[in-house]
């Protein structure tokens, strides 16, 4: 059985979705990052980086990095409905999309959610958040153009976990602006949100985005130090 460390306001939902889709046995251990539970001695012994998600494999390996966890689980359990196999010609396009989200989208989303960590003055936080959002939107414009030509999914007609991974970050961004500016990304989002296995997760993530925005409004110096 797998053990997943995660919880509200975290990207662990991505891994939980995949474990559910793959009908894999797991236990969810909740880590409340708003209460700083990711910085307790107990959790730091599991991941000294103090970040979630963490996945403990049935063999007892402790793994981190959400993109790696998604691809690892899909490969290990041959979930080819979620990730093209290594010898599938679509594997290259799939990996490009996953690595792009992991490095270029997620990093800016971190700045979007934790602007105080990138600024010396509280009054700059709002502007830093805006800049992070603009950068994500401009990177998504490239994705949008690609989807307009070869969509509706990242791999054309074929759904993959790359689409859920992208949709998760769309749910956390500004869905209204995405709908106005990025037609093909919005179309992909709607398709994914209508999938039986994904819908619950994306609805919860949309709510999480709204709740977190409220937390940010109430804590202008930063929700988590």
Ligand X SMILES: N[C@@H](CCC(=O)N[C@@H](CS)C(=O)NCC(=O)O)C(=O)O
Residue ranges in contact with ligand X by CB under 6 A:
10-11, 33, 38, 51-52, 64-66, 106, 110, 224
Which one, 106 or 181, has the nearer CB to ligand X?
Answer: 106
Provide the pairing of β-strand 62-64 with 26-30.
unpaired
Which one, 52 or 161, has the nearer CB to ligand X?
Answer: 52
Q: Smallest distance from the beta carbon of 89 to ligand X, in angstroms?
A: 27
Q: Smallest distance from the beta carbon of 206 to ligand X, in angstroms?
A: 16
Please spell the DSSP secondary structure of the chain, one letter per residue.
Answer: -EEEEE-TTSTHHHHHHHHHHTT--EEEEE--GGGTGGGSHHHHHH-TT--S-EEE-TT--EEE-HHHHHHHHHHHTT-TTTS--TTSTTHHHHHHHHHHIIIIIHHHHHHHH-GGGG-SSGGGHHHHHHHHHHHHHHHHHHHHHHHHHH-SBTBBTB--HHHHHHHHHHHHS-HHHHHHH-HHHHHHHHHHHTSHHHHHHHHHHHHHHHHHHHHHHH-TT-S--
Q: Smallest distance from the beta carbon of 62 to ligand X, in angstroms?
A: 13
Residue 196: CB atoms within 10 Å: 6
Which one, 44 or 85, has the nearer CB to ligand X?
Answer: 44
Q: Smallest distance from the beta carbon of 167 to ligand X, in angstroms?
A: 15
Q: Distance (Å, rounded) from C-alpha 26 to C-alpha 29? A: 10
Which one, 33 or 186, has the nearer CB to ligand X?
Answer: 33
Q: Smallest distance from the beta carbon of 102 to ligand X, in angstroms?
A: 6
Q: Smallest distance from the beta carbon of 27 to ligand X, in angstroms?
A: 19
Which one, 136 or 186, has the nearer CB to ligand X?
Answer: 136
Q: Which tokens in the block code for residue 108?
A: 């800016």
Which one, 116 or 193, has the nearer CB to ligand X?
Answer: 116
Q: Smallest distance from the beta carbon of 54 to ligand X, in angstroms?
A: 9
Which one, 9 or 151, has the nearer CB to ligand X?
Answer: 9
């Amino acid at each position: 059985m797998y053990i997943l460390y995660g919880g509200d306001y975290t990207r662990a939902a991505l891994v939980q979705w995949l474990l559910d889709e793959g009908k894999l046995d797991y236990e969810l251990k909740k880590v409340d990052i708003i209460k700083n539970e990711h910085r307790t001695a107990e959790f730091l012994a599991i991941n000294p980086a103090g970040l979630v998600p963490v996945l403990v494999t049935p063999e007892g390996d402790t793994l981190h990095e959400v993109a790696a966890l998604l691809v690892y689980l899909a490969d290990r359990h041959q979930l080819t409905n979620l990730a093209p196999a290594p010898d599938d010609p679509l594997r290259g396009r799939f990996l490009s999309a996953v690595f792009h989200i992991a490095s270029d989208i997620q990093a800016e989303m971190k700045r979007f959610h934790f602007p105080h960590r990138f600024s010396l003055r509280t009054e700059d936080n709002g502007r830093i958040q805006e800049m992070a959002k603009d950068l994500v939107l401009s990177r998504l414009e490239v994705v949008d153009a690609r989807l307009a030509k070869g969509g509706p999914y990242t791999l054309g007609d074929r759904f993959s976990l790359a689409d859920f991974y992208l949709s998760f970050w769309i749910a956390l961004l500004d869905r209204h602006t995405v709908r106005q500016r990025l037609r093909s990304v919005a179309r992909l989002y709607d398709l994914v949100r209508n999938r039986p296995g994904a819908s619950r997760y994306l609805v919860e993530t949309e709510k999480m985005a709204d709740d977190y925005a409220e937390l940010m409004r109430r804590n202008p110096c930063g929700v988590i130090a």
